[in-house]
Structure 1
């Protein structure tokens, strides 16, 4: 096995005294794990940070063997790790990809969406500039993994206008009229997810609540649920920042 590709670092775990096991998301070959000799060294620690873009080269004698990985830095987002909100967003967005995606399966749309979210976090002067993009990234990941929400029309009436809620069971949209009397049992559907446009903080938090429900139920189950703690920390920081 020999692969050379640019990739987004999504997880790093110490291995032994000096090495590190790195998981990185490539566009055409999905998540690729590899062992980096000296990955805990002073020279490599700034390279092997979640959200950094590397040029990786993976080599293994067989497909069952953990590949040896050499990594060169293409783009660093190290400075963002010192900013609590940005760092929380980087941690969650990359951890979600690392845990949810099967190895070596191509998900180019997820790769591009993650790259876009990370770029927005890097470029935006405030969390409002990237929080809506984070919700859309989570929705895309759900769809790419086969758990997409049906937000095109009302599941009860077939209406395509005034969609205001989502059924927590089916993941389908419900119009305001069809939801009368059942609002408390449904999840709010923020308008920016169906009509586009700007998203205020109430809409963003409704979007995060919506995606959390389906990520928790369908993707982040059992052992894969650990990254939800990072998401909870991020949402808490966002709420405190806008309070």
Structure 2
């Protein structure tokens, strides 16, 4: 069994004295793990940084085996990631969420492409937070927990949508919310793709996507907690407010 693909490196851990086990989110083969022989060496270890774009060749005797990877670097994102604390926190959140959310060996080409585009914006702190928010929204959609923000769940109107139902993920207008408004989540315009947004709006959007990650997606994955890396990124971002 063998295949070749491009992928984003998610995690690396030492295996034995000189090898490493890496987890890569690949374009055609999904989240996939494998052993890199010599992965802790001076030659290979610098390549195996989270977020790196790799060309990988996977081989195994049987498909169910963990197999081995041969890796070649395509694009390092280390310089962009270490350009500032927000960039590093953002990269860590992306790779942690992908490792947390994605089923093993199941292709997700749409979110792969979106993730690659997001990674390429690392270090551009003026556009990264909004791009990251929309990526989280797309991740929820890809995994079956998408939000329906097209019209009010109560009145059917497409006007005045300012809330999201924490139960259904549907938009709610100010008129439709009534006395339940304080129990609903915020729906800033940026969540509906309405252009650029100030940091305050993005922070509101992250509160809403975070709720669905924690209370809808995580329980479906066996009640594992959402990675702390996501919390650290949000905290880092909100310090700008």
Q: 1:183 aligns with which of 181, 184, 197?
A: 181
Q: CA RMSD in A?
A: 1.4
Are the structure 2 counterparts of residues 226 and 174 from structure 1 closer, same or farther at C-alpha, using a change threshold of 3 Å?
closer
Map 1:18-97 onto structure 2 (within 5 A).
18-82=18-82, 83-97=84-98
Map 1:122-141 onto structure 2 (within 5 A).
122=123, 124=124, 126=125, 128-141=126-139
* Distance across 1 between alignment mates of 2:194 and 2:178: 24
Q: Unaligned stretches of 5+ in structure 1?
A: none
Map 1:141-220 onto structure 2 (within 5 A).
141-220=139-218
* Matched-pair contact (CA < 8 Å) for 2:97–2:226: no
* Matched-pair contact (CA < 8 Å) for 2:213–2:226: no
Q: Unaligned stretches of 5+ in structure 2?
A: none
User: 1:230 maps to what in 2?
Assistant: 229
Q: Which runs of 4+ in 1 moved over 6 A?
A: none
Deviation of 1:223 after TM superposition, in Å, equals 6.4
TM-score, normalisation: structure 1: 0.93
Deviation of 1:195 after TM superposition, in Å, equals 4.6
User: 1:4 maps to what in 2?
Assistant: 4
* Matched-pair contact (CA < 8 Å) for 1:46–1:78: no
User: 2:106 maps to what in 1?
Assistant: 105
* Distance across 2 between alignment mates of 1:112 and 1:143: 14
- Secondary structure at the aligned position of 2:73 is classed as strand
* Distance across 1 between alignment mates of 2:63 and 2:130: 39
- Secondary structure at the aligned position of 1:131 is classed as helix
